Chains A and B, each alone.
Chain A
Amino acid sequence: MSKKKVSSRRKFLLTSLRAAGLAGIGALVWSSMLEESTANSLILRPPGALPEEDFLKTCIKCGLCVSACPYDTLKLAAPGDHKPMGTPFFDARDIPCYMCTDIPCVPVCPTGALDEQSVTTDGELDINLSRMGVAVIDTSACVAFWGIQCDACHRACPLIDEAIVIEYDKNERTGKHAFLTPVVVNDVCTGCGMCEHACITEKAAITIIPRDVVLGHAGSHYVKGWDKKDEARLKDATGATTQTELSKESAIDSLNDDSELY
Chain B
Amino acid sequence: MRYLISRRVTQITVMALYIAAHVWGLKILEGNLSSSVLLGTVPLSDPYAVLQMFVAGSVITTDVLIGAAIIALFYGVVGGRMFCSWVCPINMVTDAANWLRRKLGISHVQKRVYMSRNLRLWILALSLILSFAMGLTAFELVSPISMLHRGLVFGMGFGFSAILIIFFFDLFVHENGWCGYVCPLGGFYSLIGKFSLIRVSHNVDNCTECMKCKVVCPEKEVLHMVAKHSATVTMGECTNCARCIEVCDDDALNFSIRNFLDKK
Co-assembled chains A and B: yes
* Residue positions of A touching B, CB distance < 8 A: 19, 22-23, 26-27, 30-31, 33-35, 37-38, 53-54, 56-58, 60-64, 66-67, 75-81, 84-86, 108, 110-112
Tell me if B142 and A85 are in contact (CB < 8 A).
yes
Chain B residues with Cβ under 8 A from A85's Cβ?
141-142, 146-147
A79 with B147: CB separation less than 8 A: yes
Question: What are 26 A-to-B residue pairs whose CB atoms are below 8 Å?
Answer: A26-B126, A27-B129, A30-B127, A30-B130, A33-B142, A34-B136, A34-B138, A35-B134, A53-B135, A56-B137, A57-B131, A60-B53, A60-B64, A61-B34, A61-B49, A63-B32, A76-B154, A78-B151, A79-B156, A79-B161, A80-B158, A80-B159, A86-B146, A110-B35, A111-B60, A111-B64
B30 with A64: CB separation less than 8 A: yes
Chain A proximity of B17: nearest CB distance (Å): 12
Contact yes or no, A75 B58, CB < 8 A:
no
In the complex, how many angstroms separate the beta carbon of A11 from the nearest chain B beta carbon?
Answer: 16
Distance in angstroms from A6 CB to nearest chain B CB is 18
How far apart are the CA atoms of A53 and B121 in the complex, in Å?
28
Chain B, residue nearest A63 (CB): B154
Residues of B close to A57: CB separation below 8 A: 53, 56-58, 131, 135-137
The one of B122, B137, B155, B161 in contact with A76, judged by C-beta atoms closer than 8 angstroms, is B155
Decide: A38 and B142 in contact? CB cutoff 8 A: no
Which chain B residues lie closer than 8 Å to A35 at the CB level?
Answer: 134
Instruction: Report yes or no: A111 in contact with B31, Cβ–Cβ below 8 A.
Output: no
Contacts of B59 in A (CB 8 A): 58, 112
Q: B45–A37 contact, CB under 8 A? A: no
Known: A62-B35, A64-B31, A75-B155. A56 touches B43 (CB 8 A): no
Q: Which residue of A lies closest to B161 (CB)?
A: A79
B37 adjacent to A34 (CB under 8 Å): no
Given A31-B130, A78-B156, answer yes or no on A62-B36 (Cβ-Cβ < 8 Å). yes
Assembly CA distance A112 to B60 (angstroms): 8
Distance (whole angstroms) from the CB of A89 to the closest CB of chain B:
12
Contacts of A19 in B (CB 8 A): 122
- A111-B135 in contact given A57-B53, A60-B46, A86-B146 (Cβ < 8 Å): no
| Residue from A22, A34, A38, A64 within 8 A of B130 (CB atoms) | A34
CA distance A33 to B37 in the complex (A): 31
What is the CB-to-nearest-CB distance from A35 to chain B, in angstroms, rounded to a whole number?
Answer: 8
8 closest residue pairs by CB, A with B: A78-B157, A62-B35, A80-B158, A57-B56, A80-B157, A62-B31, A58-B58, A76-B154
Tell me if B142 and A78 are in contact (CB < 8 A): no
Contacts of A86 in B (CB 8 A): 34, 140-141, 146-147, 150
With A30-B126, A62-B36, A111-B61: A56-B136 Cβ-Cβ less than 8 Å:
yes
B49, B67, B146, B155, most chain A CB atoms within 10 A? B155
Name the one of B31, B57, B130, B155 contacting A27, with C-beta atoms under 8 angstroms.
B130
* A60 and B142 form a contact (CB under 8 A): no
Tell me the minimal C-beta distance from A49 to chain B in angstroms: 13
Q: Does B158 contact A79, Cβ atoms closer than 8 Å?
A: yes
* Chain A residues near B138 (CB-CB < 8 A): 30, 34
Bound CA span A58–B56, Å: 9
Q: Which residues of B contact A111 (CB under 8 A)?
A: 35, 53, 58, 60-61, 63-64
Q: Which residues of B contact A34 (CB under 8 A)?
A: 130, 134, 136, 138, 141-142
Given contacts A56-B135, A62-B35, A110-B67, contact A75 B154 (CB under 8 A): yes
Contact of B43 among A77, A78, A81, A110 (CB under 8 A): A110
How many whole Å from B136's CB to the nearest CB in chain A?
A: 6
Do A66 and B22 touch across chains, with their CB atoms under 8 A apart?
yes
Contacting residues, chain A, for B131 (C-beta < 8 A): 57
**Is B141's CB under 8 angstroms from A110's CB?**
no
Q: How far is the CA of A152 from the CA of B244 in the complex (A)?
A: 67
* A195 shortest CB reach to chain B, Å: 26
A86 CA to B21 CA, complexed, in Å: 18
Q: Which residues of chain A are near B158, meaning CB under 8 Å?
A: 78-80
The distance in angstroms between the C-alpha atoms of A70 and B45, with both chains bound, is 24
Residues of B within 8 A of A79 (CB): 147, 156-159, 161-162
For the complex formed, measure the closest distance between the CB of B178 and the CB atoms of chain A, giving whole angstroms: 16
B153 within 8 A of A: yes
For B127, list chain A residues within 8 Å (CB). Answer: 30
CB <8 Å contact, A60 and B35: yes
A27-B129, A31-B134, A38-B136 are known contacts. Are A60 and B122 too (CB-CB below 8 A)?
A: no
A91 to chain B, nearest CB (A): 13
Question: Residue B72 at the A interface, CB < 8 A?
Answer: no
Return B187 CB to nearest CB of chain A, in Å.
14
B123 on the interface (CB 8 Å rule)? yes
* Interchain CA distance A75-B158 in the complex, whole Å: 15
